[in-house]
Chain A
Amino acid sequence: MDDLETHEHDVIVIGAGGAGLRAAIEASTQGVSVGLICKSLLGKAHTVMAEGGVAAALANTDSRDNWQVHFRDTMRGGKMLNNWRMAQIHAQEAPERVNELEEWGALFDRTADGRILQRNFGGHRYPRLAHVGDRTGLEMIRTLQNHGIHQGFEVYMECTVTHLFKDGGRIAGAFAYWRDTGRFVLFRAKAIVLATGGIGKAYTVTSNSWEYTGDGHALAFRTGADLIDMEFVQFHPTGMIWPPSVRGILVTEGVRGEGGVLKNSEGERFMFNYVPEMFQGEYAESEEEAQRWLGGDKSARRPPELLTRDVVSRAIRSENLAGRGSPHGGVYLDIASQQDAEFIKRKLPSMYHQFKQLGDVDITRQPMEIGPTCHYVMGGVRVDAETAHSTVPGLFACGEVAGGMHGANRLGGNSLSDLLVFGRRAGKSAVEYAKSQSSAPEIDADEVAQAEREDLAPFEGRGDENPYALLQDLQKCMETYAGIVRTRADLQQGLEELAGLQQRLARVTVEGTRQYNPGWHYALDLHNMLTVSVAIATAALNREESRGAHSRLDFPDSLPDMEKFNLTLTYRDGQLECRREPRPEMPDELKQLIEVGPGELTADDVAPRFERRRGF
């Protein structure tokens, strides 16, 4: 351990997407020593791929909006399983977080009176998403990055954490390897913030990159923290599906927000047939009304294409089962018939580019062929709503790796605001916690040596397993048995196969040296993916109902009883424990917000403004 490269900080942040950067910025401004570790280069994290916008009730584009409506939309979108306090904090603080980004240099698209323009998105009652064309995530991460590099925190790029250490009960540090050299490095810290993002790489068709291997989920889980809501994996309804090379690549919900419509192979706008009971009366009932809405008529209701993602994904699946799908198993997303070419190119430039260059489709003239793609995990590390503190002292989580905020289904745009709001809170509480620790925690040398042995095992292996093949099989297993729709038999079969994969993983062998060896990197990431996959399948097996993103063919309805708890997973003595955690009681005034009809929320209406700018 003596010759091991070691760094010491008060707070270590793992993950440098929006949440990690925001946490590191906040922690640094509190005057402690902060280290930020990321698997990729700085500024390449998954936030960069967020397209549509960041949800915040700024009420710039529609003055009827406020945090209460945002809170209501979030809770209803999450099918009431959200941690209400998180949803409330999120809705209240998002506007200031967005304004703060602007102060740091972000340039969102503008309204005619010079304020931040907001666009429509699924599940949001009013146009609420501050955006920059269809590259909002890029704007956010670059703003945070360029602001962050002057705050004094240390950045460790292309460095992967494989183990967390505890001293007694509290967190003590992290063990990692440099991707380029393969050398190990030890980080000592009083507090650790996980901001590692999601798990999407566990599925075959996914909008997520190689990074999304559930590292934070697995690290926290193995350290003894609780996971919550793991059965809820969001499948984004609009991913590219053809040609094969692009399968899964995201097509922003902004296409529908800007007027795009969904059609089946018969040319019918089928979403009118899929408005769930919960949302009856809130969506347009005819194409004519939807058309008026697009034209800016305030009395018209939003088109059903803007239903929540879980609903749209299931509708697309149903259309295909009924034989009305597109040739490659999806449906058509058509904006060409709704907006002129100039507008499309201006508001959706990267969608235009992406389809033109990779799919040979001109979206200003032709419809896009799209289908569901794995996009986001609502579940994650169980945290305290105010402080983002996990159940392990000194371990915090924010962004996608944290659970609770989005309940059973996340609304588009809420993830970007989530990571700003809770990134800041996690950074702040981590500092408070670190300052409260009188002594620096110790790391056991034997544990470090053990971690090193485990990480090097794939080189010693005499086995015959190739990490790439194993990864493919894992993805196939999750896609087949724990995908958009699930049954008990499937999930049981899936868990069985996952156990088999676990055994194969022990035999994985990699070739070559430790220097930038992607085979080795995958071999280590696979441990995390398997841990998370088992958690997902187990939770899915235990929630015997359909709710939000979790659809059980054997239990097709949402059951009122099941609204009363979240499923929590804990790892104890090598065993996975799944239990029902009663949901905290919501204060009456918040309950009321959710129960009243949407019209009654807008009593404080001022002169409505509705703007659709088409450039200068």
Chain B
Amino acid sequence: MAEATLKIFRGTAERSEYQTFSVPTYQGMVVLDAVHDIQAGQAPDLAVRWNCKAGKCGSCGAEVNGNPRLLCMTRMDQYPAGQPIVVEPMRRFPLIRDLVCDVSWNYEVNKRIKPLAPKPREADGTYRMQQYDIDRVQEFHKCIECFLCQDVCHVMRDHGKYDFAGPRFMVRLAALAMHPLDTVDRLRDLRDAQGIGYCNITKCCTEVCPESISITDNAIIPLKERVAGEFYDPLAWIWRALRGKKADTRNPVH
């Protein structure tokens, strides 16, 4: 039976090391399988966070050979045999132990986003929306909150700018902005509190997204355009002044 070698990060923020393990491989094996096999046979206290093992919950984000990935969706056979596969925790977040890091920052950021405030229901107690009204937002709702985009984004990872909400929450803000039922304006927040200007659209978030959400093109750039229209476009100011409208792109008529 073939074997694979894994070089796994172990330890805490204060004291850490890379440990090397060998595991037998089998068909279709993913890196999370290897980690589980190591837990069962060689290192029972090896810490890893995981849940569904089917790419749906987004718990098992880590860095495999330097690339942020879901361990449960990363096949072992894509790596050259004979070379050790390096598995490390996400670098952007404070370490708890081994492959597990503290992602609670994301939950705090999420809480600061103004929640959806829906239009009133129709007379029959339901809502009417066309499929083409919600296609864009449904793409954003695919997000499984694995936070790999938050991990890879150089704004935080390399430059330590934590007043940027990060790609995950740009996606959520875009979902709210384009939600057909929502009535809240978050553009000023986007510019000031969420720091959309920090993003220099270098697209690493899009590259690592396991749900293939076009984070940059479909979420961040449209938001940047909306912010530009509100704050940085003289013609738009004049246009709005002439029409006597407040800056607002929605126009609910029914």
**Interface residues, chain A, with chain B CB atoms under 8 Å away:** 40-44, 46, 48-49, 96, 99, 102-105, 107, 109-110, 113-116, 132-133, 135, 138-139, 142, 146-147, 149-150, 155, 157, 180, 209-211, 242-246, 249-250, 350, 353-354, 357-360, 466-469, 472, 510-513, 515-520, 613, 615-616
Other-chain residue from B12, B30, B44, B111 in contact with A245 (beta carbon distance below 8 A): B30
Q: Is B135 engaged at the interface, CB distance under 8 Å to the other chain?
A: yes
B96 and A209 contacting across the interface, CB-CB below 8 Å? no
The answer to whether A358 and B28 touch (CB under 8 A), given A49-B57, A114-B129, A114-B130, is yes
Q: List 11 A-B contacts (CB under 8 A).
A: A41-B49, A41-B103, A44-B59, A46-B52, A103-B127, A138-B56, A357-B55, A358-B30, A466-B40, A616-B132, A616-B135
B100 at the interface (CB under 8 A from A): yes
Distance of B101 from chain A, by nearest CB (Å): 10
Closest 5 CB pairs of A and B: A243-B28, A512-B45, A114-B128, A519-B44, A468-B40
**A353 and B50 contacting across the interface, CB-CB below 8 Å:** no
The DSSP consensus for interface residues of chain B is loop
The answer, among A102, A353, A516, for a CB contact under 8 Å with B127, is A102
Residues of chain B within 8 A (CB-CB) of A354 are 54-55
* Contact status B51-A150, CB under 8 Å: no
Are the CB atoms of B26 and A157 closer together than 8 Å?
no
* A109 x B131 contact (CB < 8 A): yes
> In the assembled complex, which residues on chain A have CB atoms less than 8 Å from the CB atom of B100?
180, 516
Report B-chain residues with C-beta under 8 Å of the C-beta of A48: 51-52, 56-57, 144
The answer to whether residues A209 and B39 also contact, given A180-B96, A466-B44 and a CB cut-off of 8 A, is no
User: Contacting B52 at CB < 8 Å: which of A150, A209, A468, A616?
Assistant: A209
Residue of A nearest to B127 (CB): A102
Residues of B within 8 A of A43 (CB): 145
> Taking the nearest CB of chain A, how far is it from the CB of B79, in angstroms?
15
Are B28 and A246 in touch, CB under 8 angstroms? yes
Task: Please tell me if the beta carbons of B142 and A135 are within 8 angstroms of each other in the complex.
Answer: yes
Residue contact A132 to B141, C-beta cutoff 8 Å? yes
Q: A135-B142, A139-B141 are in contact. Are A511 and B56 (CB under 8 A)?
A: no
Which residues of A lie under 8 Å from residue B111 when comparing CB positions? 149-150
Q: A146-B115, A245-B29, A358-B28 are in contact. Are A210 and B145 (CB under 8 A)?
A: no
In the complex, are the beta carbons of A245 and B28 less than 8 A apart? Answer: yes
Q: What's the minimum C-beta distance from B85 to chain A, rounded to whole angstroms?
A: 15
List residues 93-113 of chain B with CB under 8 A from any CB of chain A: 96-98, 100, 102-104, 107, 110-111
Q: 16 other contacts beyond A139-B141, A157-B104, with CB at 8 A cut-off? A: A99-B121, A99-B125, A113-B128, A133-B138, A146-B115, A147-B115, A180-B96, A209-B51, A245-B30, A350-B56, A354-B55, A357-B55, A467-B44, A468-B44, A515-B97, A518-B44
Q: Is B56 in contact with A103, judged by CB distance below 8 angstroms? A: no
Complex CA gap A149/B137 in Å reads 20
CB of B98 within 8 A of CB of A516, answer yes
- Is the Cβ of A107 less than 8 Å from the Cβ of B45? no
Q: How far is the CA of A264 from the CA of B29 in the complex (A)?
A: 27
Contact between chains at A243 and B27 (CB < 8 Å): yes
B57 contacts A44, C-beta separation under 8 Å: yes
* Shortest Cβ distance from A615 into B: residue: B131
Known pairs A44-B58, A209-B57; A469 contacts B40 (CB<8 A):
yes
**B134 sits at the interface (CB 8 A):** yes
Question: For residue B138, which residues in chain A have a CB less than 8 angstroms away from its CB?
Answer: 107, 132-133
Contact of A209 with B115 in the complex, beta carbons under 8 Å: no
Pair B129/A40 contact, Cβ less than 8 Å? no
Taking the nearest CB of chain A, how far is it from the CB of B113, in angstroms? Answer: 8
Give the residues in chain B near A615, CB-CB below 8 Å: 131
- List of A residues within 8 angstroms of B202 by Cβ: none
Task: Indicate whether B234 reaches chain A with its CB closer than 8 angstroms.
Answer: no
Contacts A147-B115, A245-B30, A510-B45; is A518 near B39 (CB within 8 Å)?
yes
| Contact of B203 with A by CB under 8 A | no
Query: What mask results when residues 65 to 103 of chain B are scored 1 for a CB within 8 Å of chain A, else 0?
Result: 000000001010000000000000000000011101011
CA distance A110 to B137 in the complex (A): 13
Q: Find chain A residues with CB under 8 A from B172 CB.
A: 146
* Contact (Cβ within 8 A) B126 A359: no
**A205 and B209 alpha carbons, distance in the complex (Å):** 29
Report A-chain residues with C-beta under 8 Å of the C-beta of B156.
none
Residue of A41, A102, A250, A510 near B59 (CB, 8 A) is: A41
CB distance from B105 to the nearest CB of A (A): 12
The total number of A-B Cβ pairs within 8 Å is 184
Question: B51 and A210: CB pair below 8 A?
Answer: yes
Is there contact, CB below 8 Å, between B53 and A209? yes
B149 to chain A, nearest CB (A): 16
B171-186: which residues lie under 8 A (CB-CB) from chain A? Answer: 172, 176, 179, 181-182
Given known A-B contacts A102-B127, A105-B116, A115-B128, A517 and B47 have beta carbons under 8 A apart: yes
Residues of B within 8 A of A147 (CB): 115-116
Q: In chain B, residues 1-21, which have Cβ atoms closer than 8 Å to a Cβ of chain A?
A: 12
**Nearest CB of B to A525, in Å:** 14
CA distance A428 to B40 in the complex (A): 43
Interface members, chain B 126-173 (any A CB < 8 Å)? 126-135, 137-138, 141-145, 172
Q: CA–CA, A155 to B104, complex, Å? A: 11
Q: Are B59 and A104 in contact (CB under 8 A)?
A: no
Q: List, in ascending order, chain A residues with CB within 8 A of B27's CB.
A: 243-245
A206 to B211, CA, bound (A): 24
Taking the nearest CB of chain A, how far is it from the CB of B148, in angstroms? 14
Most buried by A among B44, B49, B115, B121: B44
Residue in A closest to B212 when the chains form the complex, CB atoms: A353
Chain A residues, Cβ within 8 Å of B116? 104-105, 146-147
Q: What residues of chain A lie closer than 8 Å to B30, measured between beta carbons?
A: 245, 358
Tell me if A516 and B51 are in contact (CB < 8 A): no
From A133, which residue of chain B is reached at the shortest CB distance? B138
- The CA of A49 and the CA of B57, in the complex, are separated in Å by 7
Asked whether A517 and B45 contact (CB < 8 A) given A210-B50, A468-B40, the answer is yes
Most chain A CB inside 10 Å of its own CB: which residue of B28, B40, B98, B137? B28
Which residue of A40, A107, A139, A357 is within 8 Å of B73 (Cβ)?
A357
With A42-B107, A110-B129 in contact, is A138–B141 under 8 Å at CB? yes
From residue A127, how far is it (CB to closest CB) to chain B in Å?
16
Q: Whole-angstrom distance between the alpha carbons of A211 and B58 in the complex? A: 15
Indicate if the CB atoms of A516 and B131 lie closer than 8 Å: no
Q: Given A44-B58, A107-B129, are A358 and B141 neighbors across the interface (CB < 8 Å)? A: no
Nearest-Cβ distance from residue B178 to partner chain A, whole angstroms: 10
Residues of A within 8 A of B132 (CB): 616
Nearest CB in chain B to that of A39: its residue: B51
CB-CB nearest in chain B for A240:
B54
Nearest chain A CB to B31's CB is how many angstroms away?
10
- Cβ of A113: which chain B residues have Cβ within 8 Å of it? 128
- Bound-state CA distance A135–B143 (Å) is 11
| Shortest CB distance A375–B (Å) | 13
- Closest residue of chain B to A116 (Cβ to Cβ) is B126
CA–CA, A163 and B50, complex, Å: 24
Contact between A245 and B110 (Cβ–Cβ < 8 Å)?
Answer: no
> Which of these, A103, A110, A245, A518, contacts B121 with CB under 8 Å?
A103
Q: Which listed residue (B39, B51, B145) contacts A519, Cβ 8 A?
A: B39
Q: Which of A105, A357, A469, A513 contacts B45 (CB 8 A)?
A: A513
B48 sits at the interface (CB 8 A): yes
Contact yes or no, A180 B45, CB < 8 A: no
Chain A residues positioned under 8 Å from B182 (CB to CB): 105
The answer to whether A44 and B141 touch across the interface, beta carbons within 8 angstroms, is: no
Is B33 in contact with chain A by the CB < 8 A criterion?
yes
Contact B137 A40 (CB under 8 A): no
Chain B: CB-nearest residue to A40: B51
Question: Which of these, B55, B96, B129, contacts A515 with CB under 8 Å?
Answer: B96
Contact assessment for B141 and A142 in the assembled complex, using a CB-CB cutoff below 8 Å? yes
